[in-house]
């Protein structure tokens, strides 16, 4: 399908204060993609209302997304509303694709968080909210699905306040709910907006009359809105305390400042699927979310001195951009999605990758609309574009002008928790498999591939069973590769429980030149999630400095395979404090082997144990199945954290080991007559009970 309403270069270069870079983020099934589709329709970017159930959405363009009705990859697009250019990224809601949300939030200036009016604040809503907090992203909220049975607007606002620790400010109050929902009252202008005559929702009636049924609530929340805004601005507060009428424009200006300063979170109501309440949300994106001009600057480090550097978010400053996503396109090759923070970039010019020190040519610059492309000659500060040309650039790399380098904050991603073995169906496909896995790991930073040299198996690891299933499906469809897949395996880790001293000595005498490497180390346990730390404490040159990196390399190799059950080692500190060398026989390889031997020696002495990934579990069941569901979670070594009543269902919150949750969806369905649903996300690692370790060793 050809791109519609092409954005031409002449109207693309708008002033900085007329740009909004926003992301649509939420829990799975809250209506993010439908909301994005409505935004594209009302802004004239598309001429047809996309429907997820019919598989006609523009933002969910992958075959797998349309089949499953979920978003898997974040999609970018550009549109205009009231002459303001809005760059939108629609992100996935499923926890297995959390990396897509993480990297999108890193480069956005503002966010729209969508909530389901009946479900309220769910677990994944909390997760994406915390991610937005981490990157200090100002946001608006849209309480969607007001037409759904059990929709509870005020209850959801209360949950935003209580569960997310935010300060919501109600901007539109719903008129009716469930099947009687027909519009909203704009509390700032005190006008009713009623949808109904036009099915597409483009036309709606604006009236000064407020329906009697909501008048009391509207007056109450309008007074609260005035008070909340006045509290953020001294001049308005003085007028408010003197009982003077506050000017709407002054209130809007103060609210914009409060939103950008993370003090207030505007709340809007509507139903995207039924085409009601989306236009006020669009007005809010323009009125209250920041432009690059509002955020003024981006901070980074000088790669040589680690001193802080500040760049203005301005096309006239030196060029700086962050690569936040790699996508392999069958037509144009590798696409490097980048947010340009400062300066300009021309196609055909060279950029410098500050992370790897390589200079690369940008042959083409593309403006993306989901999977459709529009070629442009030049990109400016504030834009989100895809670059064709860079081969070595990875997710999180800073691209800059070689003479004016800056290193922007990188993006951190969670560790994979589940893995499976994969092998080609025929020997001739081995090379094809290696290429396919390499392509996918370039695109997805939470997808890891390694080869187990003992079994010669290729192991792929990811964030969940769905994540791995989608990747295998993509290999089959996009790359024509059929593979044999093993059973998913939990990503266990090994660690030590006590301190220990270790020695590694490698001596090999042959007729001529021998080998000699000797090192002494101290191993000590670290807290959960702290990883592995190597410290060089050598004094007086007992090991020459040129051999220290060799020892460290040997240590890293030893950490990849533990001694208990062969899982990677984590959460320990290794201090290299002494050793010896031989003038002639010492070599890099000798010290590498000595480093490996020392770790293996120390780990055996330091009380080794096994760690397993623990999942945060949220199970929603009808009230009469609560006892059965809790009993089942407990039988899976689960720890019940509490229960919460929502309408006619109970939400059970728990921690449970991933190893015990295989096939849980099927079990839950059979226990609850098909009415139970669950959500889980990786939480932390914990020690495996000794009896389970013993049974694993005996297998």
At residue 13, the pLDDT reads 67
Quote the DSSP letter at residue 446. Answer: T
Written as six digits, the tokens of 548 are 């220290």
Q: How confident is the model at residue 293 (pLDDT cuts 50, 70, 90)?
A: confident
Q: Can you name the CATH fold of 297-408?
A: Elongation Factor Tu (Ef-tu); domain 3 (2.40.30)
Q: Cα separation of 301 and 320, whole Å?
A: 12
**Which has the minimum average pLDDT: 100-109, 377-386, 467-476?**
100-109
Query: Which residue is associated with the tokens 């049974």?
Result: 695
From the list 357, 358, 408, 367, the residue with the least C-alpha distance to 387 is 367
Task: Just give the CATH number of 612-698.
Answer: 3.30.70.240
What CATH homologous superfamily does 420-490 map to?
Elongation Factor G (Translational Gtpase), domain 3 (3.30.70.870)
- Model-level pTM greater than 0.75? no
* pLDDT tens string 525-548: 998 888 899 999 888 788 888 889
Helix 234-241, helix 212-230: angle, nearest 10: 130
**Which has the minimum average pLDDT: 28-37, 103-112, 157-166, 343-352?**
28-37
H or E stretch covering 458: strand 457-462
| Distant-in-sequence, close-in-space partners of 211: CB < 8 Å, separation ≥ 6 | 175, 192
Written as six digits, the tokens of 538 are 């050598």
At residue 455, the pLDDT reads 63
Say if strands 608-622 and 493-496 run parallel, antiparallel, or are unpaired. antiparallel
CA angle 660, 661, 665 (to 5 degrees): 150
% residues pLDDT > 90 (the chain)? 27
Q: What is the mean pLDDT of residues 144-173?
A: 91
Exposure string for 424-433, b = 16+ CB within 10 A, e = fewer:
beeeebeebb
CA-based max dimension of the chain: 101
Query: Which residue is associated with the tokens 């009302």?
Result: 42
Q: Spell out the alpha helix ranges (H) of 500-659.
A: 548-559, 588-605, 626-635
Half-sphere exposure of 653 (CA within 13 A, CB side): 10
Q: What is the mean pLDDT of residues 546-572?
A: 90
87 phi and psi, to 5 degrees?
Answer: -95, 120
Say if strands 19-26 and 84-90 run parallel, antiparallel, or are unpaired. parallel
Q: How confident is the model at residue 65 (pLDDT cuts 50, 70, 90)?
A: very low
Query: Which residue is associated with the tokens 């001429």?
Result: 47
Query: Which residue is associated with the tokens 């609530």?
Result: 217
At residue 245, the pLDDT reads 84
Does residue 508 have a pLDDT over 80? Answer: yes
* pLDDT tens string 175-205: 988 889 999 999 999 999 998 877 788 888 8
Q: Cα separation of 70 and 100, whole Å?
A: 13
CB-based burial of residue 636 (10 Å sphere; 0-12 exposed, 13-18 middle, 19+ buried)? middle
Task: Just give the CATH number of 9-222+263-294.
Answer: 3.40.50.300
Does residue 70 have a pLDDT over 60? Answer: no
Q: Return mean pLDDT, the chain.
A: 83
Say if strands 344-346 and 378-380 run parallel, antiparallel, or are unpaired. antiparallel
Question: Can you give the residue ranges of every domain in the chain?
Answer: 9-222+263-294, 297-408, 420-490, 494-606, 612-698
| Distant-in-sequence, close-in-space partners of 262: CB < 8 Å, separation ≥ 6 | 136, 138
At residue 656, the pLDDT reads 93
At residue 244, the pLDDT reads 85
Q: What is the mean pLDDT of residues 665-690?
A: 85
Q: What is the mean pLDDT of residues 549-569?
A: 89
Residue of 471 and 112 predicted with greater confidence: 112
At residue 314, the pLDDT reads 83
At residue 219, the pLDDT reads 93
Same topology for domains 420-490 and 612-698, yes or no? yes
Q: What is the length of the chain?
A: 699
CA angle 467, 470, 471 (to 5 degrees): 85
| Distant-in-sequence, close-in-space partners of 19: CB < 8 Å, separation ≥ 6 | 84, 85, 87, 291, 292, 382, 383
Q: Cα separation of 443 and 108, whole Å?
A: 19
CB 686 within 8 A of CB 613: no
Q: Cα separation of 175 and 215, whole Å?
A: 10
CB-based burial of residue 696 (10 Å sphere; 0-12 exposed, 13-18 middle, 19+ buried)? middle
% residues pLDDT > 70 (the chain)? 89
Q: How confident is the model at residue 263 (pLDDT cuts 50, 70, 90)?
A: very high
Q: How confident is the model at residue 8 (pLDDT cuts 50, 70, 90)?
A: very low
At residue 260, the pLDDT reads 93
CB 281 within 8 A of CB 38: no
Does residue 52 have a pLDDT over 70? Answer: no
* pLDDT tens string 390-440: 888 888 888 998 888 898 887 777 777 777 888 888 877 888 888 888 878
Q: Where are the beta strands (DSSP E) in 171-209?
A: 172-175, 183-186, 191-194, 205-207
Q: What is the mean pLDDT of residues 38-55?
A: 62
Q: How confident is the model at residue 40 (pLDDT cuts 50, 70, 90)?
A: confident
Which one is the CATH code of 494-606: 3.30.230.10, 3.10.180.10, 3.30.70.260, 3.40.50.2300? 3.30.230.10
Q: How confident is the model at residue 60 (pLDDT cuts 50, 70, 90)?
A: very low
| Distant-in-sequence, close-in-space partners of 530: CB < 8 Å, separation ≥ 6 | 571
CA angle 656, 135, 641 (to 5 degrees): 20
Residue of 579 and 135 predicted with greater confidence: 579
Q: Cα separation of 261 and 167, whole Å?
A: 12
Q: How confident is the model at residue 62 (pLDDT cuts 50, 70, 90)?
A: very low
**Which has the minimum average pLDDT: 88-102, 226-240, 487-501?**
88-102
């Amino acid at each position: 399908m050809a791109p519609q309403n092409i954005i031409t270069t002449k109207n693309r270069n708008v002033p900085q204060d007329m740009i909004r870079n926003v992301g649509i983020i939420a829990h799975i099934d809250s209506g993010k993609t439908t909301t994005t589709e409505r935004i594209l329709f009302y802004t004239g970017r598309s001429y047809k209302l996309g429907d997820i159930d019919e598989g006609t959405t523009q933002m969910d363009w992958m075959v797998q997304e349309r089949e499953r009705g979920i978003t898997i990859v974040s999609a970018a697009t550009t549109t205009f509303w009231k002459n303001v250019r809005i760059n939108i990224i629609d992100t996935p809601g499923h926890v297995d694709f959390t990396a897509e949300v993480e990297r999108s939030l890193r480069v956005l200036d503002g966010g729209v968080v969508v909530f389901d009016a009946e479900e309220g604040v769910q677990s994944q809503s909390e997760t994406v909210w915390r991610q937005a907090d981490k990157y200090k992203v100002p946001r608006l909220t849209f309480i969607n699905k007001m037409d759904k049975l059990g929709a509870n607007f005020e209850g959801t606002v209360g949950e935003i306040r209580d569960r997310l620790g935010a300060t919501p400010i109600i901007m539109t109050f719903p008129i009716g709910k469930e099947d009687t929902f027909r519009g909203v009252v704009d509390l700032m202008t005190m006008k009713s907006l009623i949808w109904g005559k036009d099915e597409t929702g483009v036309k709606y009636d604006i009236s000064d009359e407020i329906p009697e049924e909501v008048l009391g609530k509207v007056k109450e929340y309008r007074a609260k809105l005035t008070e909340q805004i006045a509290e953020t601005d001294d001049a308005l507060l003085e007028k408010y305390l003197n009982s003077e009428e506050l000017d709407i424009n002054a209130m809007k200006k103060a609210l914009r400042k409060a939103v950008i300063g993370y003090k207030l979170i505007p709340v809007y109501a509507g139903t995207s699927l039924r085409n009601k309440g989306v236009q006020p949300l669009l007005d809010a994106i323009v009125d209250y979310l920041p432009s690059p001009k509002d955020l003024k600057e981006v901070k980074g480090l000088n790669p040589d001195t680690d001193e802080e550097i500040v760049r203005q978010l301005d096309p006239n400053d030196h060029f700086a951009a962050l690569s936040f996503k790699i996508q392999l396109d069958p037509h144009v090759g590798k696409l490097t999605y980048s947010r340009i923070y400062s300066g300009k970039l021309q196609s055909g010019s060279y950029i410098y990758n500050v992370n790897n020190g390589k200079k690369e040519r940008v042959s083409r610059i593309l403006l993306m609309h989901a999977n459709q492309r529009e070629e442009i000659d030049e990109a400016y500060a504030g834009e989100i574009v895809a670059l064709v040309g860079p081969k070595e650039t990875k997710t999180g790399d800073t691209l800059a002008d070689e003479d004016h380098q800056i290193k922007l904050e990188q993006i951190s991603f969670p560790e994979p928790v589940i893995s499976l073995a994969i092998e080609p169906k025929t020997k001739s496909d081995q090379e094809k498999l290696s290429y396919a896995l390499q392509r996918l790991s370039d695109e997805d930073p939470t997808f890891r591939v390694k080869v187990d040299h003992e079994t010669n198996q290729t192991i792929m690891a990811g964030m969940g069973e769905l994540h791995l299933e989608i990747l295998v499906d993509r290999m089959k469809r996009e790359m024509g590769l059929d593979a044999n897949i093993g059973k998913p395996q939990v990503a266990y880790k090994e660690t030590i429980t006590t301190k220990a001293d270790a020695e590694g000595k490698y001596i090999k005498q042959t007729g001529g030149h021998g080998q000699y490497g000797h090192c002494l180390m101290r191993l000590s346990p670290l807290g959960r999630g702290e990883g592995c730390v190597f410290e060089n404490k050598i004094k007086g040159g007992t090991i020459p400095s040129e051999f220290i990196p060799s020892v460290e390399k040997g240590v890293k190799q030893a950490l990849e395979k533990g001694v208990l059950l062969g899982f990677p080692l984590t959460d320990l500190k290794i201090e290299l404090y002494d050793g010896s060398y031989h003038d002639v026989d010492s070599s890099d390889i000798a010290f590498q082997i000595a480093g490996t031997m020392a770790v293996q020696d120390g780990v055996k002495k330091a009380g080794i144990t096994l760690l397993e990934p623990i999942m945060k579990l949220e199970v929603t069941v009808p009230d009469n199945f609560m006892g059965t569901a809790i009993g089942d979670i407990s039988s899976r070594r689960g720890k019940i954290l509490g229960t919460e009543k929502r309408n006619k269902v109970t939400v059970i919150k728990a921690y449970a080991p991933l190893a015990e949750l295989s096939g849980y969806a099927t079990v839950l369905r059979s226990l609850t007559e098909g009415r139970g649903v669950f959500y889980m996300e990786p939480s932390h690692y914990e020690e495996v009970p000794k009896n389970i370790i013993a049974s694993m060793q005996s297998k």
